[in-house]
């Protein structure tokens, strides 16, 4: 009963995310261009300096900004696009509420925290990513249209989750029956959700950075660089990406440490190079490399961001590759 309510809410949440995605796409395509991006388009070098100078984050208006829309004719005007974007944000928020309820019912059905198998794990990580994003989007309307990317990634992950990883709600196997499940897995999930948002930010940075370079060189832009028209300046994205990762990394570290303590209780050793442990360690090392790279001026920026992208790739290997292909002590995925 609870379990089927949960399944229904899951579908509702996915549909909501898709709807929000469409709304964001409209805003993205027809909305008012981000002020910074417009300046970047006009005078890439100058804007760079100004934004560096700003140091404050997403929107740094410049003194010469007149604020009027000098774009050519569009089928939907900017005001209406913004309105649609606001609706998309509301829809996404509602979907997140359904998503939350879905997990609550899952928990009620199974009488435990809703992250005992891989289906639930992905479900929770996606909710955290969405909530993290919603916090940003409500506070900074200027970046709202970027919700397109977040809802896109989340919708895809959830569809894969429902199609490939679904497991019926039930109690836990003995090894998972511990309060460490709550601590360890929630830390891992929260960190994964944060890294997901970090990945999206860094990916956008890489697009924007390339676009700015091409603009400066007067090279014609093609997709995906044209996406950058509506993105904040690359410096801003880069800094945001760093802050997100700097938030996720200690949580990931904490999660691994809790995992080690739990492993000591359950398996009799705190570390044993089980595949999941190994890949968590690799992800940790790669993100540590990112933090180091970013502290090295000569490779900060493009290179360090590629390392963050690599970190996310490792996270995906850990989530899908290790759970579905390699077998180890962590084989609780409940699939196959």
Partner 1 sequence: MSETGDRGRTDGDGPVLADDPSTDDTTDRATDGAAAGARPVLEEAGREDENALSSRPDAAAARRVAGNGVLATGRRWWRQLTSMRTALLLLFLLAVAAAPGSLLPQRNLNADKVDTYFTQHPTLAPAMDKAGLFDVYSSPWFAAIYLLLFVSLIGCLTPRIRVHLRALRRTPPDAPRALRRLRVHTEYASGSGAADAAEVARKALRGRRFRTVTRRHDDGTVTVSAEKGFLRETGNLLFHFSLVALLVGVAVGAGYGWHGGRLLMAGKDNAFCNNLQQYDEYSLGSRVSGGDLPPFCVTLDRFHAKFQDNGQPLAYSADVTYSPDGGSGGKRYKLEVNHPLRVDGASVYLVGNGYSPVFRYTDRYGQTQTVVSPFIPSDSNFTSDGVAIFPDANIDPKTGKRNVDLQMAFQGVFFPTVSKQGGHGSTFPGLRDPAVLLFAYRGNTGTDAGVPHSVYSLDQSQIQNKQLRQIGKNPKLLRPSTKCTAQSCWKLDDGTTVQFVGVQRWATIQVRHDPGERIVLVAGVALLLGLMGSLTIRRRRIWFRFTPDGSGSTVSAGGLARTEYAGFRAEFDRIVDAAGGPARPPDSGTPRGKD
Residues of this chain that interact with ligand HEM (CB under 6 A) are: 115, 117-118, 121, 175-176, 184-185, 188, 256, 259-260, 262-263, 266-267, 271, 276-277, 280, 318-319, 323, 330, 332-333
Other beta carbons within 10 angstroms of residue 1's beta carbon come to 8
Query: Shortest approach of ligand HEM to residue 169 CB, angstroms?
Result: 14
Contact by Cβ (8 Å): 81, 30: yes
With CB cut-offs between 5 and 8 Å by kind, which of ligand HEM, partner 1, none does residue 177 bind? partner 1
The footprint of partner 1 on this chain (CB under 8 A) covers a number of residues equal to 72
Burial label, 67 (beta-carbon count in 10 A; 0-12, 13-18, 19+): exposed
For residue 153, what are the contacts with CB-CB under 8 A and spacing of at least 6? Answer: 129, 196, 200
With CB cut-offs between 5 and 8 Å by kind, which of ligand HEM, partner 1, none does residue 49 bind? partner 1
123-162 residues near partner 1, rule: CB under 8 A: 139-142
Contact by Cβ (8 Å): 84, 26: yes
240-299 residues near partner 1, rule: CB under 8 A: 242-243, 246, 249-250, 253-254, 257, 260-262, 264-275, 278-279, 281-282, 285-286, 288-289, 291-299
Closer Cβ to partner 1, 134 or 282, answer by number: 282
Closer Cβ to ligand HEM, 4 or 177, answer by number: 177
What is d(CA 102, CA 185) in angstroms, rounded to the nearest whole number? 18
What is d(CA 110, CA 296) in angstroms, rounded to the nearest whole number? 48
Binding residue (CB under 8 A) for partner 1 from 4, 11, 42, 55: 55
Instruction: State in Å, rounded, how far the first CA of the chain is from the last one.
Output: 24
Stretch that binds partner 1, among 78-86, 191-199, 217-225, 237-245 (CB under 8 A): 237-245
Binding residue (CB under 8 A) for partner 1 from 175, 183, 316, 324: 175
Contact by Cβ (8 Å): 125, 193: yes
């Amino acid at each position: 009963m609870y379990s089927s309510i949960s399944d229904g809410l899951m579908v509702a949440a996915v549909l909501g995310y898709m709807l929000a995605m469409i709304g964001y796409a409209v805003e993205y395509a027809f909305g008012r261009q981000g002020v910074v991006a417009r300046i970047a388009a006009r005078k890439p070098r100058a804007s760079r300096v100004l934004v560096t100078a700003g140091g404050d984050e997403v929107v740094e208006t410049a003194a010469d900004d007149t604020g009027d829309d000098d774009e050519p004719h569009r089928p939907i005007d900017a005001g209406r696009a913004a309105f649609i974007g606001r609706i998309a944000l509301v829809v996404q928020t509602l979907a997140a509420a359904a998503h939350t309820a879905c997990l609550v019912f899952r928990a009620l059905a199974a009488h435990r925290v809703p992250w005992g198998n891989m289906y639930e794990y992905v479900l929770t990580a996606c909710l955290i990513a969405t909530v993290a994003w919603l916090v940003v989007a409500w506070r900074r309307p200027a970046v709202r249209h970027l919700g397109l990317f977040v809802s896109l990634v989340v919708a895809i992950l959830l569809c894969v989750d429902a199609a490939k990883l679904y497991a019926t709600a039930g109690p836990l196997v003995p090894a998972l029956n511990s309060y460490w499940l709550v601590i360890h897995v929630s830390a891992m999930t929260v960190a994964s959700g944060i890294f997901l948002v970090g990945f999206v930010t860094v990916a956008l940075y890489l697009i924007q950075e390339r676009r700015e370079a091409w603009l400066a060189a007067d090279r014609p832009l093609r997709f995906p660089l044209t996406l950058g028209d509506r993105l904040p300046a690359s410096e801003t994205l880069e800094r945001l990406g760093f802050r997100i990762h700097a938030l996720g990394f200690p949580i990931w570290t904490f999660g691994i440490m809790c995992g080690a303590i739990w492993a000591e209780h359950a398996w009799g050793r705190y570390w044993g190079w089980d595949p999941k442990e190994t890949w968590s360690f690799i992800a940790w090392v790669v993100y540590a490399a990112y933090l180091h790279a970013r502290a090295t001026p000569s490779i900060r920026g493009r290179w360090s961001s590629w390392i963050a992208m690599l970190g996310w790739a490792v996270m995906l290997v850990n989530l899908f590759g290790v759970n579905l292909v390699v077998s180890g002590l962590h084989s609780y995925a409940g699939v196959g």
